[in-house]
C-alpha cells in the first residue's frame, strides 16, 4: 500500500534503551526472586526485540510464550475492538507471569489481555511495557513497569512498526510526515 513520505527522527537511542532494559530487568528479577520459573509472555509482534533483550537480562529461570492480539491495522489509529489472533501455547494456572508489551496507547489491548489471562488464575500476573503514552489513555490501565513515558507521537523501531516497516531500527524514532 503506498504511504505518504515520512522521515524518522530519533527519540530514544539504542544505548539509552539498553540501559533502561537492564534496570527494568533488575527490578523484575527482584520482584520475582522467589519464583521457580517466570513465564514471560510477549505480545506479538511489536515486543519481539524488547522481550529478547529483557529475558537475557533477567536473573531468573524463564519460559517464553507469545500471544497476538490485534488492535492496530496498517493505520496510525487504534481500533477499540481487541481480538486474540494467536493464543499462548502453555498453561499459566498457578504460575508467575510477566506480560511484555511494546506500547500502552489507549490501553485497550493490555486491559483485554490482562482480563483474559487473569481468568486463567495465574499465581502472579504483572505487566511490563517499554513505552507508555499516558496522554492517549482511554481505559484505566497501567503497567507495573514502564521503560519510558513518551508524548503523543507515532513511533517506530526496536520492534515497533509503521505498516510493518521500520521494526529493525535499533533505536526508537518519531514518524514525521514530509
Ligand atoms: P492500545 O490498545 O491502544 O493501547 O494499543 C497498543 C498497541 O498499538 C501497541 O501494542 C502497538 O502495537 C500499537 N501502537 C500504539 N502506538 C503506536 C505507535 O506509536 N507506533 C506503532 N504502534 C503503536
Domain boundaries along the sequence of the chain: 13-152
Question: What pLDDT digit, counting tens, does each position of 154-168 carry?
Answer: 999 999 999 999 999
Q: What is the CATH number of domain 13-152?
A: 3.40.50.2020
Residue 29 pLDDT more than 80?
A: yes
Residue 64 has pLDDT above 50, yes or no: yes
Q: Which strand (E) or helix (H) includes residue 111?
A: helix 108-118
Residue of higher predicted confidence among 4 and 43: 43
3-state SS of 37-54? CEEEEEEECCCHHHHHHH
> How far apart are alpha carbons 1 and 84 in whole angstroms?
25
Mean pLDDT of 115-131: 98
Within a 13 Å sphere around the CA of 26, how many CA atoms are in the beta-carbon half?
6
- Confidence band (pLDDT; 50, 70, 90) for 74? very low
Closest C-alpha to 64, from 100, 21, 115, 94? 100
pLDDT confidence tier of residue 82, bands split at 50, 70 and 90: confident
Residue 7, pLDDT above cutoff 70: yes
Start-to-end CA span in the chain (Å): 18
Between CA 26 and CA 33 the distance in angstroms is 10
Tell me the pTM. 0.94
Cell of 86: 494467536
The pLDDT score that the predictor gives to residue 171 is 98
CA of 33 to the centre of ligand 1 (A): 30
Q: 1-5, 23-27, 124-128: lowest mean pLDDT where?
A: 1-5
The answer to whether residue 77 scores a pLDDT higher than 60 is: no
pLDDT band at 71 (very low <50, low <70, confident <90, very high): confident
Percent of the chain with pLDDT over 70: 94
* 54, 17 Cβ separation under 8 angstroms: no
Q: Per-residue pLDDT averaged across 40-49, rounded?
A: 98
Which residue of 11, 76, 101, 105 sits with most ligand 1 atoms within 8 Å of its CB, as the best mutation to test the pocket? 105
Average pLDDT, the chain: 94
Q: State which of 9, 68, 85, 102 you would mutate to test the pocket of ligand 1, scoring each by most atoms of that ligand within 8 A of its C-beta.
A: 102
Ligand 1 contacts CB of residue 172 (under 6 A)? no
Please tell me which residue, 58 or 75, carries the higher pLDDT value. 58
2 has pLDDT over 80: no
Residue 85 burial (CB < 10 Å; 0-12/13-18/19+)? exposed
Known catalytic residue: 105?
Answer: yes
Amino acid at each position: 500500500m503506498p504511504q505518504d513520505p515520512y522521515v524518522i527522527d530519533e527519540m530514544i537511542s539504542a544505548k539509552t534503551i539498553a540501559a533502561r532494559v537492564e534496570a527494568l530487568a533488575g527490578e523484575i528479577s527482584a520482584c520475582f526472586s522467589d519464583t521457580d520459573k517466570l513465564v514471560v509472555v510477549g505480545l506479538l509482534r511489536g515486543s519481539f526485540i524488547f522481550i529478547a533483550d529483557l529475558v537475557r537480562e533477567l536473573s531468573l529461570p524463564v519460559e517464553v510464550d507469545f500471544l497476538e492480539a490485534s488492535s492496530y491495522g496498517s493505520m496510525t489509529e487504534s481500533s477499540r475492538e481487541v481480538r486474540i489472533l494467536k493464543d499462548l501455547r502453555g498453561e499459566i494456572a498457578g504460575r508467575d507471569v510477566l506480560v511484555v508489551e511494546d506500547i500502552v496507547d489507549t490501553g485497550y489491548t493490555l486491559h483485554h489481555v490482562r482480563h483474559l489471562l487473569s481468568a486463567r488464575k495465574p499465581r502472579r500476573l504483572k505487566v511490563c511495557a517499554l513505552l507508555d503514552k499516558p496522554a492517549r489513555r482511554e481505559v484505566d490501565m497501567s503497567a507495573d513497569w514502564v521503560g519510558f513515558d513518551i508524548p503523543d507521537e507515532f513511533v517506530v523501531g526496536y520492534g515497533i512498526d509503521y505498516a510493518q516497516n521500520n521494526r529493525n531500527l535499533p533505536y526508537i524514532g518519531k514518524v514525521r510526515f514530509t
